[in-house]
Chain A
Amino acid sequence: MNRITHAFRSKKNLLNTYFTAGYPSLHDTIPLAKALVESGADILEIGMPFSDPLADGPVIQGSSTVALANGMNLPVLFEQLQNLRTAVPDAPVLLMGYLNPVLQFGVEAFLKRAAEVGVDGLILPDLPLDEYEETYHALFQQHGLKAVFLITPQTSEARIRRLDALSDAFLYLVSGPGTTGGTTRPDADAQQQYFERVADLNLKNPRLIGFGIANKAGFDRACQYADGAIIGSALIQALQEVDDAPAAAARFVRGIKS
Chain B
Amino acid sequence: MTTSFQQPTARGYYGEYGGAFVPEMLYPNVEELRTQYLEILADPAYQAELQLLLRDYVGRPTPLFEARRLSEKYGTRVFLKREDLCHTGAHKINNTVGQILLAKRLGKQRIIAETGAGQHGVATATVCALMGLPCVVYMGATDIERQAPNVARMRLLGAEVRRVTSGSQTLKDATNEAIRDWIANPVDTHYIIGSVVGPHPYPDLVARLQAVISEEMRAQLLEKTGSELPAFVVACVGGGSNAAGAFYHFLDEPAVRLVAVEAAGHGIYSGHSAATSVLGKPGIIHGSRTLLMQDEHGQITEPYSLSAGLDYPGIGPLHAHLGAVGRAEFMSITDDEALAAVSELSRLEGIIPALETAHALAALGQLGAGPDDVVVVNLSGRGDKDLETYLKNMDKLI
Complex Cα gap A151–B25 (Å): 8
Distance in angstroms from A254 CB to nearest chain B CB is 31
What interface size band does chain B fall in?
35 or more
**A151 to chain B: closest residue by CB:** B24
Asked if A126 is an interface residue, CB under 8 A from chain B, the answer is yes
Distance in angstroms from A125 CB to nearest chain B CB is 4
Tally of contacts, chain A with chain B, CB under 8 A: 108
Asked if A52 is an interface residue, CB under 8 A from chain B, the answer is yes
Asked if B249 is an interface residue, CB under 8 A from chain A, the answer is no
Residues of B within 8 A of A58 (CB): 166
- Which residue of B167, B183, B281 is within 8 Å of A179 (Cβ)? B183
Residues of B within 8 A of A51 (CB): 167, 299-301
B298 touches A103 (CB 8 A): yes
B297 touches A101 (CB 8 A): yes
Interface string of A119-132 (1 = CB under 8 A from B): 00000011110110
Residues of A within 8 A of B394 (CB): none
Residues of B within 8 A of A126 (CB): 21-23, 284, 287
Residues of A within 8 A of B184 (CB): 177-179, 182, 184
Which residues of A in the span 153-209 have a Cβ within 8 Å of any Cβ on B?
154-156, 159, 174, 177-179, 182, 184
Complex Cα gap A184–B297 (Å): 34
- Which residue of B19, B23, B301 is within 8 Å of A54 (Cβ)? B23
B186 touches A155 (CB 8 A): no
Residues of A within 8 A of B183 (CB): 54-55, 177-179
A105-B297, A179-B180 are known contacts. Are A128 and B284 too (CB-CB below 8 A)? no
B24 touches A50 (CB 8 A): no
A128 touches B186 (CB 8 A): no
A103-B284, A126-B287 are known contacts. Are A177 and B21 too (CB-CB below 8 A)? no
Residues of B within 8 A of A177 (CB): 25, 183-186
Distance in angstroms from B10 CB to nearest chain A CB is 10
Complex Cα gap A100–B24 (Å): 17
Residues of B within 8 A of A (CB): 11, 19-28, 166-167, 172, 176, 179-180, 183-187, 281-287, 294, 296-301
Q: 7 smallest A-B Cβ distances: which pairs?
A: A104-B298, A101-B298, A125-B23, A150-B24, A73-B297, A154-B28, A178-B184
